[in-house]
Structure 1
């Protein structure tokens, strides 16, 4: 028998948490949302407060470390919440559980500090430190999506890290938006914008039955700009894309410079339509260059999920398609709470394959 379920959504994820709870309520007939807050003192210090008992409950804590739309007052001035602030509030809420929950699972779609996942010099290894902190605080499982480097789970080998692929939802969104795709090796290709995205691309391409291409990022390792080595050039490895629809797949769009450079190169090589999949759309430097690239015909559509905070400006863009993940999160919570297998949810290969085959039959093309 499953333990009594409880969901705690931090302010950074409260809208998503409420929707997930409504879905679970429609399945199970009751609400599971436990209210919480993280008020701040004038000095900027804070505390976590849980407003209902969590004793002997199977607790799922939802947090969006990327939500920078939130603010708090410090010394009379407004500060925007950074990933560090959101992560600190997560630890406060875990601490407020006082060890009374039967199990704690953290649902953190964007894995905190996942881009600082390896050391190349005398530097911190922030993602590893975070995982070990959560383990020490009594967290049993972490659910994340499309981790920048899934090998980070090796840091805490005795704890569960569920790295969920949103590939099924992207496939469904793609087929909702496009009715004329020809799914074969002569008309469609998946593209990895760098070597780090290759595994994602190979996974989907193998299920679609099409070829892949890859770009190699040449960096200047003698210089550091904004915390990383600047990219000198993108070199393409793959067959001709002339006249083909191409889908670029990556885990995130940050500033977007690399993604647009790759798209331009593909367009120069004769690609027909360029579609972009990115699990997390951060758009940290705004949309001006995306608007310009879209007007120039560099790309056709951008798909990202609602796993992290979405800017209102982004949602209004003609070229943007939002992938809703809330029902999937509800299914993950429901499955974990009942002790079910997660393999079909974390990497739903069979469902993707069936979706592709159904699309081919319905469209009557690409056979």
Structure 2
């Protein structure tokens, strides 16, 4: 199957894609799987995609990071930073440039475009569902994403291939490697959901670790909207005692970090020994000042996020930050799909997580 594998990477994911390609080449004793492409812009800001090699009859994997705001393009003499909308348009241009010739097209989009606009509560657009239907209509066979904000987006494509991959294995491995003094029992460790939406992820972790969980309920001001959302009035905690325990807060993303800081503060006020954060996507859209101050105040010990989205250079230098590398896992996903093998063990790797925890407990005796 190696001869028909092709990888097309948009500029937004090019660094990770190069490493993923190298891993696949090593596994398969090949030279290269990346098909050169570019998405140039006209002076008006309009764009197009140009593929520099044939994709006919190939199994194509297109990689894109819609959160990468470090890329700029020139329009009317000025530079604009690319927004998620710009990245999504370039993704569609790549698919259109394939011109229906590949054997199969798989889009790997770690952060699901418009994933936070997943439901309608009034007269508003339903952007994520429309995006998924649009990709299906363009001829995309599979969509791979990670820790979607709402896993029910599966329902948009009941007959299509959409895989929502859990990052729980990589977080478990990174955490237990870094903190060998962690005691995995219900008296010393608790997983905490910062809101109702994170409950399913926290239940998954807590059940595999065999410990208890807690949850914060976001009380919002539904009479007002600020920056597109109803502002949070307070976080109410539901759970047992945290006195002397290690607490792990699990969520899909860190945006401004305001909610995270409030949650960490309440956890510390309840007597937690240490506070750790697992978040698949570290966007840090309001900078680092508030996060830095919270760390200096001792509200948390470490933040773990993945390299699935663009990481700001200053983030990588933070003492409190740990980058969880997902390159080999993405390579394994591509390798598995290209060989037409089952994705079950990769999408939710419960067995491997249990084995990792068992090895850790065995080495701690």
Q: TM-score, structure 1 length as denominator?
A: 0.98
Match of 1:278 in 2: 279
Aligned to 1:134: 135
Which residue is 1:14 aligned to?
Answer: 14
CA-CA distance at 1:363 after TM superposition: 1.6
1:238 CA drift (Å)? 0.3
Q: Offset of 1:236 from its aligned partner?
A: 0.2
Structure 1 residues not aligned, in runs of 5+: none
Is the CA contact (8 Å cut-off) linking 1:69 and 1:80 kept in structure 2? yes
Matches within 5 A, 1:2-81: 4-30=4-30, 31-81=32-82
Match of residue 114 from structure 2: 113
Q: CA deviation at 1:158?
A: 1.2
- Matched-pair contact (CA < 8 Å) for 2:37–2:52: yes
Aligned residues of 1:188 and 1:244 also touching (Cα < 8 A): yes
Work out whether 1:298 is the aligned partner of 2:295.
no
Determine the structure 2 residue equivalent to 1:122: 123
Number of the residue aligned with 1:209: 210
Q: Note the residue ranges of structure 2 that are not aligned, 5 or more in a row.
A: none
Structure 1 residue runs of 4 or more that deviate by more than 6 Å after TM superposition: none
Partner SS, residue 110 of structure 1: coil
- Measure, in 2, the Cα distance between the counterparts of 1:2 and 1:41: 36
Matching of residues 230-309 of structure 1 within 5 Å: 230-309=231-310
Question: In the aligned structure 2, how far is the partner of 1:292 from the partner of 1:195?
Answer: 26
Deviation at 1:132, TM superposition (A): 0.6
* 1:225 to 1:119, Cα distance in 2 relative to 1, 3 A: same
Which residue matches 2:348?
A: 347
SS in 2 for 1:40: coil
1:179 aligned counterpart, secondary structure: coil
Task: Check the 8 A contact 1:3/1:56 in 2, yes or no.
Answer: no
**Secondary structure of 1:233 counterpart:** strand
Look up the SS of the partner of 1:308 in the other structure: coil
How far apart, CA to CA, are the structure 1 residues paired with 2:362 and 2:262? 35
**Distance of 1:150 and 1:124 partners within structure 2:** 19
Query: How many residues are aligned here?
Result: 364
Structure 1, residues 258-306: CA drift from partner, whole Å, max 9, x if none? Answer: 0110000000000000000000000000111111111110000000000
Counterpart contact for 2:106–2:141, Cα < 8 Å: yes
Q: How far 1:3 sits from its partner (Å)?
A: 6.9
Residue 55 of structure 2 aligns to a residue in which SS?
Answer: coil
How far 1:91 sits from its partner (Å)? 0.2
User: How far is the alpha carbon of 1:99 from its aligned partner?
Assistant: 0.2
Contact 2:49 2:97 in 1 (8 A): yes
SS in structure 1 at match of 2:363: helix
SS in 1 for 2:272: coil
Q: CA deviation at 1:103?
A: 0.3
Distance, in Å, in 1 between the alignment partners of 2:253 and 2:79 is 28
Q: TM-score, normalised by structure 2?
A: 0.99
1:157 positional shift: 1.0
Deviation at 1:2, TM superposition (A): 6.8
**Are the counterparts in 1 of residues 2 and 28 from structure 2 also a CA contact under 8 Å?**
no
Query: Is the 1:191–1:214 contact (alpha carbons within 8 Å) kept by the matching residues of 2?
Result: yes
**Aligned CA-pair RMSD:** 0.7
- Equivalences for residues 211-226 of structure 1 within 5 A: 211-226=212-227
